[in-house]
Structure 1
Amino acid sequence: MSKNVTLPHQQGSTDAGPGEPLLSVEGLEKHFPIYGGFPFRKQVGAVKAVDGVDLQIYPGEALGVVGESGCGKSTTGRLVTRLLEPTGGKITYAGQDITHAGRKQLAPIRSEIQMIFQDPFSSLNPRQTVGTIIKSPMEVNGINPPGGRETRVRELLETVGLNPEHYNRFPHEFSGGQRQRIGVARALALEPKLIVADEPVSALDVSIQAQVVNLLQKVQSELGIAFMFIAHDLAIVRHFSQRVAVMYLGKVVEVADRDSLYTRPRHPYTHALLSAVPEADVDSAKKDRIRLSGDVPSPIMPPSGCRFRTRCWKATEKCASEDPPLVQISGNREGHLTACHFPEEPTLSRGKDVVLDPALAALEDGHTAKD
């Protein structure tokens, strides 16, 4: 990264105290109503996309959020940024309750919580130039950096590895990786304290994924920005995140530091996810593979008790009647939380690295391919 870009935060923003989480989520819920009936429509059910999520993100750290499609990862990210209104639970940012905060209360902290969207093309206005797209957040928040907004935008473009001369170009003139860099520059325009990255590399080629992930990692380390990194790719999550939360059907089933979770997973679902990652050693992959039976249950009518029990090889009557809390269990490292009545034994289950592709393996060595 060629330059560090800094912008003053808006007045009225708050800071988390020493050792306090920047963002805390307790019992977070989002239920989307289902309507039916004729001639009078009424609510007949609800899709429980997020149903009791507990998470903490500390200043400057990267929390990875993983899980199957439909588990509620993206919805959780939109709730945290208050793009969606929560059905229940509590969201605390820097000690301030923002669960149901109105526009005026959210205004001072909007610049501190930014989002990078999954699709690098649909998240950019095709009728606006790159300069206008990145400059707009500064205009909305009334920020006039030294040297002017155009100068700052050109510095941001250089920061994310683009040519400052791209200022007057339109999104369709860029590749997918370049568009995602534009999205990163827009998120950095207000120097946020927290960025929610919703699968920021899933739509990109593997070699381009490496570039964007390394860019985000440099941004985190040099600017001290906290990340909520949502992804399917376990190899990328391991490279980027310091802690990892595993979600299943609207709930968090395991949270731990990166090394503890990847080498000693305690929840059966986490163990199954890690065993499904392809490895170079074909024989080893065949031995360790865990094939889950059945499909993911519907979030409209989730199973009673433990939601994973319908696909778990350890399930008993207790799993059907009691919902296991997310707590630290015996044999876990401090801070390793698991929601399971019958957790896996804390034995070394995998090797040092989980790598899907040689291009991603270069991440560990700090190498990237050129776009």
Structure 2
Amino acid sequence: MKEDVAKDVPTGDATLPAPRAATDGGSDEPLLVVDKLVKHFPVKGGFPIRRTIGAVQAVDGIDLTVHVGESFGLVGESGCGKSTTGRLITRLLEPTAGRITYRGQDISHASRRQLAPVRSEIQMIFQDPYSSLNPRQTVGKIISGPMEVNGINPKGGREKRVRELLETVGLNPEHYNRFPHEFSGGQRQRIGVARALALEPKLIVADEPVSALDVSIQAQVVNLLQEVQKELGIAFLFIAHDLAVVRHFSQRVAVMYLGKIIEVGDRQSIYTRPRHPYTHALLSAVPEVELDGTGEARRERIRLAGDVPSPISPPSGCRFRTRCWKAQDKCASEEPPLVRLEGNSDGHLTACHFPEEPSVAARAEDIVLDPALAALERDEQGSAE
């Protein structure tokens, strides 16, 4: 994709807005660069010999850049490849192809020994706060574990450091000897945050860190992560399907669909001036409270038909074309490049042959692609008349 971008902009992400200054000097140098990253999971079949008959194209050639101290959001519906991308970046999964560069070092296929110096700088917060903590270990053991593995002996000892981390994430330092089952979901996620902070990382991949929590607890955890980022200057790759949470936390946002990144930009342009039809559909699904009492919709409404196509056999050309109201023959034959469109602010990249207008205002007529739903609404309108 970067070659395509180069036709319209100087370099792939060179036009993206500069992140805010970080605590280590606010360098604009990329901390993490992902180039044409691919991850295919083989599908086995056949009898009696199990052979590869296909592949799940979970991530299929994505580019993204995260700068020092920046919060970068990655959004999309379930199954689009967000979590797989996070696990590839942390090297919990081996890439099928592509390149992952961290601080100028290619770690795409680095061995365990080569990764050792980098492991402490890239940490992950997992989605499920219940299964990501060892129930047989105390909180003190869980948080100090990374320090033991990396041979780190902080001043004052590991126990003192763990108690400081517990206090940092809003837990009682006296909980050092408690077990995970003695904590609520929100408290467990705070323990996960403390574990990620134990090695003073420069990049944290947060994989849906609040999706398993009650709504009342989500804001507390998100605010905690924001405070941590502000105080320590840590860069975040924030993966989520909740658009409201991503808008609150992230400076830049990338929208992902079926293994591809289809739009990238700063949060203001993504949320108020989207160009890709899928981004429009995604934003139209966000609930909105009417405050003016007029009863009129202030935001466009789009209802898509069908499910996301199978990643084993994705559509040709643009992968969103099977659910898109603007699809034409060109969409099936040519894959749209991720480029800056005319009229877009610098850094806003879109992959669409026929982009939408940069607005989320209500249309003259809702887009309803589901035939059954359209028929139901016609019947309701007829009975009302």
SS of equivalent to 1:22: strand
SS of equivalent to 1:344: coil
Q: Which amino acid aligns with 1:220?
A: Q
Residue 339 of structure 1, CA deviation: 0.4
SS of equivalent to 1:346: coil
- Structure 2 equivalent of residue 50 of structure 1: 59
Pairs within 5 Å for 1:133-172: 133-172=142-181
1:173 counterpart = 2:182: yes
Q: Which amino acid aligns with 1:271?
A: H
Q: Which string of whole-angstrom CA distances, capped at 9 and with x for unpartnered residues, describes residues 206-243 of structure 1?
A: 11000000000000011000000011111110000000
Q: Structure 2 vs 1, CA of residues 287 and 198 (structure 1 numbering), >3 Å: closer, same or farther?
A: closer
SS of equivalent to 1:295: coil
**Equivalent of 2:330, from 313, 318, 324?**
318
Partners of 2:157 and 2:129 lie apart in 1 by: 27
- Identity of counterpart residues, as a percentage? 80
**Equivalent of 1:272, from 270, 281, 304?**
281
Partners of 2:334 and 2:29 lie apart in 1 by: 31
Runs of 4 or more off by more than 3 Å in structure 1?
Answer: 15-18, 282-287, 347-350
**Equivalent of 1:339, from 331, 351, 373?**
351
> TM-score, length-normalised on structure 1?
0.88
- Structure 1 equivalent of residue 262 of structure 2: 253
Partners of 2:297 and 2:183 lie apart in 1 by: 39
Pairs within 5 Å for 1:286-365: 288-347=300-359, 349=361
Residue 347 of structure 1, CA deviation: 3.5
Residue 287 of structure 1, CA deviation: 6.2
Partners of 2:324 and 2:166 lie apart in 1 by: 48
Gaps of 5+ in 1: 1-14, 351-371
**Equivalent of 2:245, from 236, 240, 249?**
236
Moved more, 191-200 or 286-295: 286-295
Q: Which amino acid aligns with 1:323?
A: E
Partners of 1:105 and 1:164 lie apart in 2 by: 35
Moved more, 280-289 or 252-261: 280-289
**1:265/1:349 contact within 8 Å kept:** no
- Structure 2 equivalent of residue 366 of structure 1: none
**Equivalent of 2:74, from 65, 68, 72?**
65
Q: Which string of whole-angstrom CA distances, capped at 9 and with x for unpartnered residues, describes residues 152-196 of structure 1?
A: 000000000000000000000000000000000000000000000
**Equivalent of 1:104, from 99, 103, 113?**
113
Aligned residues: 336
Residue 349 of structure 1, CA deviation: 3.8
- Structure 2 equivalent of residue 74 of structure 1: 83
RMSD across aligned C-alpha pairs, in angstroms?
1.5
> TM-score, length-normalised on structure 2?
0.85
Q: Structure 2 vs 1, CA of residues 17 and 169 (structure 1 numbering), >3 Å: closer, same or farther?
A: closer
1:114 counterpart = 2:123: yes
Q: Structure 2 vs 1, CA of residues 298 and 20 (structure 1 numbering), >3 Å: closer, same or farther?
A: same
**1:64/1:230 contact within 8 Å kept:** yes
1:88 counterpart = 2:100: no
Partners of 2:212 and 2:264 lie apart in 1 by: 26
1:185 counterpart = 2:194: yes
Partners of 2:203 and 2:296 lie apart in 1 by: 39
**2:26/2:69 contact within 8 Å kept:** no
- Structure 2 equivalent of residue 216 of structure 1: 225
Partners of 1:93 and 1:287 lie apart in 2 by: 40
Q: Which amino acid aligns with 1:299?
A: P
Partners of 1:50 and 1:149 lie apart in 2 by: 39
**1:63/1:228 contact within 8 Å kept:** yes
Q: Which amino acid aligns with 2:175?
A: H
Partners of 1:37 and 1:178 lie apart in 2 by: 47
Gaps of 5+ in 2: 1-23, 363-385
Name the larger-Rg structure.
2
SS of equivalent to 1:197: strand
